[in-house]
Chain A
Amino acid sequence: MTMSTTQHSTTDNDLVRLEHVSKRFGPVEPLKDINLRVGHGEVLGLLGNNGAGKSTLMKILCGFHPASDGTMYFEGKPVNLRSVTHARQLGIDCVYQDLALVNELNVYHNMFLQREPVHGGPLGILNNKRMKADAERHLADMGVNIPSVDVEIAKLSGGQRQAIAVARSVYSNARLLLLDEPTAAMGAKEGAMILNVIKRLRERGDVSVIIIAHNYAQIFDVCDRINLLREGEIVFDRATSDTSVQELTDIVVNEYRAATEAEA
C-alpha cells in the first residue's frame, strides 16, 4: 500500500494491540493484515466504507470471531480470546443498545443485571435502595439525562438506551468499550447525548473506546486518533489533531474515483 501512513509504535502504553491480524471465511478475506493499537484512555475512531472490514474487526476484538492469523496483546500480554464472555472478563465490552437491555425492567435493574446487590441469605433479596442510589449517582457522573431510574427501559428513547448501555459497561469495570455506530438512526440531540458520554469517558481517562461511525464531524469531536480501513487493511492512522475532515474526505473521494475508474 503506497499511500499507507500507518505508523504503529509498540509501546507498553497500549491497552490493546493487534499485530498482523487477518481473518478468512473460506475464500473471502475481510481482514488482511491489521496492525492496530489503542492506548489507555484513548478514544479511537474507525472509519471505512461498507465492507471495509470494520464490523469483522470489532467482532474479533470482542471475542465473537477468532482471528485466522496474527496476535492480539492486552496490556502487553498476548491473549487468545475464547469467547465474548472471556473478552468481557478481561474488560473488553461491545455495547449494543437494543441487544443488551431488558425493556421490561427499570433502569437501575438493568444497570445491575446479574451483579445486583442483595441483602444476603439464600433468597437473594434485592437491595433496591442501594441499586437506585448507585445508578442515579453513576448516570449523573456520566452525564446521562433520564427522567428517573424507576422508569422501564421500554419508555426511554434510543439515545437514552444507548447511553445507559454504555454506562452499564463502564460500571461493570470495562477497560475497552467497542461501539459500532452508536449514533446511527438517531436525531442530533440524541446523538449528542452519546457523544457527551464518550467525552466524559475521555476526560476520566480510565476507559479506552473504539468507535465506528460515518459522521466525520462526530468522529473529530470525540476521538483522539483516527484509523481508516480499506479492503481489510488499515491505510491511515493519525491523531485527530494532525488531520482534518477535508483530508479524510479527499482520501475517500479519491478512493471512490479510483474504484469507479477501475470499474470502467
Chain B
Amino acid sequence: MATSSSDSTAGLASRLGGLALRRREASIFIAGCLLVIYFQITTDVFVSGANVSTLVQYAGATAVLAAGEVMVLICGELDLSIGMVYALSPFLMFYANEAGVPMALAIILALAGAGVVGLINGLVTTWLKLPSFVTTLGMLFLINGFTLVISGGFPVQPQAGEIFTAVMGGSATAMVIWAVLIAVILQFVLTRTRWGLHTIAIGGNLSGATEAGIKVKTLKIRNFMLCSMLAGFGGILDTFRIGSIDPLAGGNEIMFMAIASAVIGGTLLTGGVGTIIGALFGAIVLAILKDGFTLSGVSAYTFDMILGAAILVTMTINVHLNQLREKGRV
C-alpha cells in the first residue's frame, strides 16, 4: 500500500517534472506552488485573505509592467525606462484632471503621453540605430528629471469617486483582474496573431524576418509603445491603490522587478523566446518571496540577497534546460 502510494507520487512527480521541462511557464508555476506550501507551513498565515491582498500589492503593477517588457524583449530589445514612465504617467493624469479633464479621459491622455515616450524610444532605436539599452537608459534619466521638475518633487493626491478608485486598482480584486486580463490578452496577441508571430520572428532571426518582408521598424516601435503604455497603466493602478502619487515611486526598483519577472518566467534577453503568462507567474513568485520572507521576519537586506541568488539559480537552470529543449532531449 505504502509502495503503491509512493509509486503514484513518484509518477505524478515525474509527470510534473516532464511538464516543467517542456512548458516554459510550468517550471516557474511549480516553483511558486512549492514556495506557497513552504511559507504556509513555516508562517501559518500565508494563505489568508489579508495576506493574499498583500501579495497582490506586490505583484499587481509589476506583472503589468512585465507583460509589456516581454513583448520588447522578445523582439530583441530592452526597455529600461518603464519604471520612470510608471512614475510619470500618474502625474500627467493628475495635471490633466486638475485642468478640468474628467478622470477617465485624463487616464487616456496619460496613457497617450506614455505612448509618446515609447514612440520616441522606438524611433531612436530603429531609425537612429542606437542600442535600446542606451536609448532607454537615456530616457530613464530624462523622464525621471521631467517628473521631478513638473511635480516639484512633492507627492499629490488624486481625487476620484470611490467606485472609480476601486475599479482602477483601489481594490485587490480589481488589481488581480487587471493583471490577469492584460496577461491573457497579451499572451493571445503573442501566440495567436500576426503581431505576436512577427515579434518572435524579428527576435529569432532579424535578417530572415526582414527578408520575408516583415516591417521590422514599425513592429519594434509598436512594441515599445505598448510597453510604455502598460508601464503608465501600471503606475496609474498603483496610484489608485495607494491613494497618492509620489514622484519617487517605482523607478528602477519596479523596472528591475519587471525584467526579473520576465526573465525568471522564461523570457530570454536575447530575443525570439518569451511568455507573458510566465512573466505573470514570475511577478507572483517574486511577490511570494518578498512577502514570505517579510512574514518570516527576514530583513529586507537578506531578501535582496535571496532574490539575487534566486535569479542566478533559476536562470542557470533555464539556460541549460533550453539547450536540452533545442537538442530535443526533453
Contacts and interface: CB of A to CB of B under 8 A. Distances in A.
22 contacts: A99-B208, A99-B211, A100-B205, A101-B208, A102-B204, A102-B209, A103-B204, A103-B205, A104-B200, A104-B201, A104-B273, A105-B197, A105-B200, A113-B197, A113-B208, A113-B209, A123-B193, A125-B192, A126-B194, A126-B197, A128-B192, A154-B326
Contacts of A105: 197, 200-201, 204
B152 interface: no
Interface in B280-311: none
B43 interface: no
Interface residues of B, number: 23
Interface in A156-180: none
B272 A104 contact: yes
Interface string A53-92: 0000000000000000000000000000000110000000
B195 interface: yes
B328 A155 contact: yes
A109 B205 CA distance: 13
Contact of B326 (A99, A114, A128, A155): A155
Interface in A99-140: 99-105, 109, 113-114, 116, 118, 123-126, 128
Given A102-B272, A155-B326, A113 B214 contact: yes
Nearest to A94: B211
Given A105-B197, A105-B201, A113-B214, A126 B192 contact: yes
B207 interface: yes
A100 B204 contact: no
Contacts of B222: none
Interface string B145-184: 0000000000000000000000000000000000000000
Q: Which 9 A-B pairs have the closest CB atoms?
A: A124-B194, A104-B204, A102-B204, A114-B212, A104-B272, A102-B205, A113-B212, A114-B213, A102-B201
A242 to B, nearest CB: 37
A105 B197 CA distance: 8
Interface residues of A, number: 21
A191 B256 CA distance: 48
B171 to A, nearest CB: 30
Interface of A: 84-85, 99-105, 109, 113-114, 116, 118, 123-126, 128, 154-155
A116 B191 CA distance: 13
Contacts of A155: 326, 328
B77 to A, nearest CB: 16
Contact of B272 (A100, A103, A123, A126): A103
A104 B208 CA distance: 12
B312 to A, nearest CB: 25
Contacts of B214: 113-114
B201 A116 contact: no
A104 B203 CA distance: 9
A84 B326 contact: no
Contacts of A101: 205, 208
B20 interface: no
Given A101-B205, A102-B204, A103-B205, A116 B194 contact: yes
